Amino acid sequence: MSTAQVADLHERTRITVSLERNPYDVIIGRSMVGEIGDALADLPIRSGTKILVVSNPDVAGPYGDSCMSGLRAAGFNPVLLEIDAGEERKTLQTLSLILDKAQQEGLERTSLMLALGGGVVGDMTGFAAACWLRGIGIVQVPTTLLSMVDASIGGKTGVNHPKGKNLIGAFHQPRLVVIDPLTLNTLPVREFRAGMAEVIKYGVIGDPDLFSRLEEASDLSDPTAMDPTLLHDILVLSAEAKALVVADDEREGGRRAILNYGHTFGHVVETLCGYGTWLHGEAVAIGMVAVGELAVQRGEWSRSEAERQAVLIQRIGLPTAWPDLDIERVLHTLEGDKKVLDGRLRFVMPTAIGEVVIKDDISREQILSCLRSLRA
């Protein structure tokens, strides 16, 4: 279970990811980047601990000094490493840069890594922490909407393989997640919109009220134009939803697979179009529309609700059209997906707004029919 104490926008919201072993908190609050040191000091982490802060130039520029100063003021010993982000950089080569820095700085088993950035920085830094000395602590400080509502919570870490997304990685839960909504003010609008795809996902898989609030909102495409109360609620509701699922199924043995809604087709789009062509959230948006069409064709979802989903995705400014991809290559990529179990491909299928099921009985012919209709 997760618990949230929600006050006004100037207060902190704390959500607990209640794992059986090593539970941790997600703290949401304005100006938290400069107060990360205080948040860490509340944990059993000794003064003087070495912390390797990994970020990218676009984030380290506006937020690096504040983060480092806060850590030093709390008695920690931080060092900053800047790496290039972007899905095309999510490789073993970039991972090696982080591990090389860990070696140069003499990180010990009591040391920490801290990811200050979006999902790519968080995934790679988390994986580096899982690998270094067979596992040291990781703190996630996400600065994109997508990483705030999804990637930073749950312990999935990794890098891409040329033949598939996130095929190399490990489950490595963070010690703490710190979310500062003010960092979204410097986020490019395209990346903010991409993050909204994951928010829509939470509405479809389990929160019809959230989905309705998104439909009723006047502007969801720009954080500076959004109602700040709605943005705060989106962060809290999404983090709570993720925390509940992760606490119930930490290593994706069952229920957690529902979080992959839209991702099976979405990962195909990312892989075959080339990493970096589409942002992750954009590919997920395309994937949600695609699996929605598959569910409609199988008689498991109504056409009207599939259209509601597509309209909301389009209104935010996200893509919905399936790209021009060779169907045989799509099928081959699907067969290599990491969600394949016992040789059977699993899809998270919507049955209503707020309800999904996991299906592994989708035939090759049904996938072909769906892909052909998407290209029509």
The residue annotated as part of the active site, out of 156, 165, 172, 201, is 156
Structure tokens at 78: 């931080």
Verify whether residue 280 is a known catalytic residue.
Answer: yes
Task: Give the 3-state secondary structure of residue 295.
Answer: helix
Return all residues near 111 (Cβ < 8 A) that are at least 6 apart.
49, 50, 51, 52, 102, 136, 137
Verify whether residue 10 is a known catalytic residue.
Answer: no
Verify whether residue 332 is a known catalytic residue.
Answer: no
Verify whether residue 267 is a known catalytic residue.
Answer: yes
Return all residues near 232 (Cβ < 8 A) that are at least 6 apart.
9, 13, 28, 181
Q: How does strand 112-117 pair with strand 137-142?
A: parallel
Cα→Cα distances 124→95, 131, 166, 198, 292, Å:
6, 11, 10, 20, 31
The residue annotated as part of the active site, out of 89, 193, 280, 359, is 280
Cα→Cα distances 146→51, 138, 228, 332, 335, Å:
24, 19, 17, 28, 26
The residue annotated as part of the active site, out of 20, 46, 134, 216, is 134
Show the CA angle centred on residue 332, arms to residues 328 and 335, nearest 5°: 140
Task: Give the 3-state secondary structure of residue 148.
Answer: helix
Verify whether residue 109 is a known catalytic residue.
Answer: no
The residue annotated as part of the active site, out of 50, 175, 201, 256, is 256
d(CA 376, CA 208): 30
The residue annotated as part of the active site, out of 35, 82, 191, 198, is 198
Verify whether residue 338 is a known catalytic residue.
Answer: no
Verify whether residue 305 is a known catalytic residue.
Answer: no
**Of 348, 242, 365, nearest in space to 290 by CA:** 348
**Of 201, 206, 237, 162, nearest in space to 318 by CA:** 201
Q: What is the sign, positive or negative, of the torsion defined by CA atoms of 358, 289, 170, 179?
A: negative
Give me Rg for the CA atoms of the chain: 20
Assess contact for 362 and 347: CB atoms under 8 A. Answer: yes
The residue annotated as part of the active site, out of 252, 270, 293, 305, is 252
Q: How does strand 13-17 pair with strand 176-179?
A: unpaired
The residue annotated as part of the active site, out of 90, 175, 201, 242, is 242
The residue annotated as part of the active site, out of 172, 175, 193, 267, is 267
Verify whether residue 260 is a known catalytic residue.
Answer: yes
The residue annotated as part of the active site, out of 160, 165, 260, 282, is 260
Expressed in percent and rounded to 5, the helix, strand and coil fractions of the chain are 50, 20, 30
The residue annotated as part of the active site, out of 172, 175, 201, 263, is 263
Verify whether residue 256 is a known catalytic residue.
Answer: yes
Active site residues: 134, 156, 198, 242, 252, 256, 260, 263, 267, 280
